[in-house]
Amino acid sequence: MIVDFYCCEGGASAGYAAAGFSVVGVDRDPQPRYPFPFLQMDALEAMDRLLAGEWLTFHTKNGMPLFAHISLMAAWVGSPPCQARTKAQKIQGREHPLLIAPTRERFIRSGLPYVIENVVPDGFDPDPLMDPVLLCGEMFEIETYRHRLFERTSIWKHRSTRSTWRGRQRWGADQCLVSTCTSSATSPASIADAR
Ligand SMILES: C[S@@+](CC[C@H](N)C(=O)[O-])C[C@H]1O[C@@H](n2cnc3c(N)ncnc32)[C@H](O)[C@@H]1O
């Protein structure tokens, strides 16, 4: 079982489910469109409760309870809200909590493999990801040219930077050719590496 914290409507969860994992989601807001077992709770509180050995109760779409304990979990993943990292929010002068660092601290304490996903920051990043890998929709032959950064424990890291896949010709070491991304993150050389 994978727990997707900050799950929203479940875009990331759907990806993990497609890769063969059972997924449950946590979000502080109701998410009636989330397709997997769901718990409405502050994500940091949910992590703290799991770390304290508590069982949490998720509910399936048809209302069945699903009891979850950290010992049953294979990995923790999450996409903390990204507003603090985007230019639009900085221009509007809004304050947003920086959730990546406290999420990482708990993820590491869990001892589980983890992934933290976020947008590419716009300028100075007050809450950076550590050694993230950059993925773009086009790498997966999806015509959505969006870049996302993924910090992950070493078990998830790509093993090779060499590939015969055509992606090798299409992406440089630090940049996707379809846009002007200037992230210093490294890109995997192939779709297999990305997985
Ligand atoms: C960037 S979205 C996640 C998108 C999601 N990964 C997807 O693929 O659809 C961030 C989500 O975090 C939730 N959120 C913000 N602060 C939270 C908190 N303290 N605890 C739990 N969820 C939170 C928001 O309600 C929002 O749904």
Reference 117, options 32, 1, 2; nearest CA is 2
Which pair of structure tokens corresponds to residue 134? 């950059």
Cβ atoms within 10 Å of 143's Cβ, excluding its own: 7
In this prediction, residue 156 carries a pLDDT of: 60
Range of the domain at 141: 133-194
Question: Are 11 and 72 within one domain?
Answer: yes
User: What Å distances lie between residue 151 and 15, 44, 56, 67, 89, CA to CA?
Assistant: 16, 18, 26, 28, 23
Task: Give the Cα separation of 41 and 29 in Å (integer).
Answer: 8
Task: Give the Cα separation of 10 and 180 in Å (integer).
Answer: 28
Question: Number of folded domains in the chain?
Answer: 2
Ligand 1 centroid to 59 CA: how many Å? Answer: 18
Question: Are 15 and 86 within one domain?
Answer: yes
Question: Are 25 and 94 within one domain?
Answer: yes
Task: Give the Cα separation of 101 and 175 in Å (integer).
Answer: 25
In this prediction, residue 86 carries a pLDDT of: 65
Farthest CA pair distance, the chain? 49
Beta bridge partners of 23: 2
Question: Are 110 and 80 within one domain?
Answer: yes
Minimum-distance ligand 1 atom for the alpha carbon of 13: 8
Ligand 1 centroid to 27 CA: how many Å? Answer: 6
CB-count burial class (<10 Å; 0-12, 13-18, 19+) for 26: buried
Pocket test for ligand 1, best of 2, 3, 8 (most atoms within 8 A of CB): 8
Q: Tell me the CA end-to-end span of the chain in Å, nearest whole number.
A: 18
* Protein residue with its CA nearest to atom 15 in ligand 1: 81
pLDDT band at residue 143 using 50, 70 and 90 as cut-offs: confident
Ligand 1 pocket list (CB less than 6 A): 6-12, 27-29, 42-43, 79, 81-82
Question: Are 171 and 82 within one domain?
Answer: no
With respect to residue 150, please indicate whether it lies within any of the assigned structural domains.
yes
With respect to residue 128, please indicate whether it lies within any of the assigned structural domains.
no
Reference 22, options 58, 63, 62; nearest CA is 58
Minimum-distance ligand 1 atom for the alpha carbon of 9: 9
* Protein residue with its CA nearest to atom 19 in ligand 1: 42
Ligand 1 centroid to 44 CA: how many Å? Answer: 12
Ligand 1 centroid to 75 CA: how many Å? Answer: 18
Q: Is the pLDDT of residue 155 over 90?
A: no
Question: Are 111 and 34 within one domain?
Answer: yes
DSSP-derived pairing of the beta strands 2-5 and 23-27: parallel
Question: Are 105 and 146 within one domain?
Answer: no
With respect to residue 85, please indicate whether it lies within any of the assigned structural domains.
yes
With respect to residue 127, please indicate whether it lies within any of the assigned structural domains.
no
pLDDT single digits (tens) 71-101: 999 999 999 998 766 666 555 656 679 999 9
* Protein residue with its CA nearest to atom 11 in ligand 1: 6
pLDDT band at residue 118 using 50, 70 and 90 as cut-offs: very high
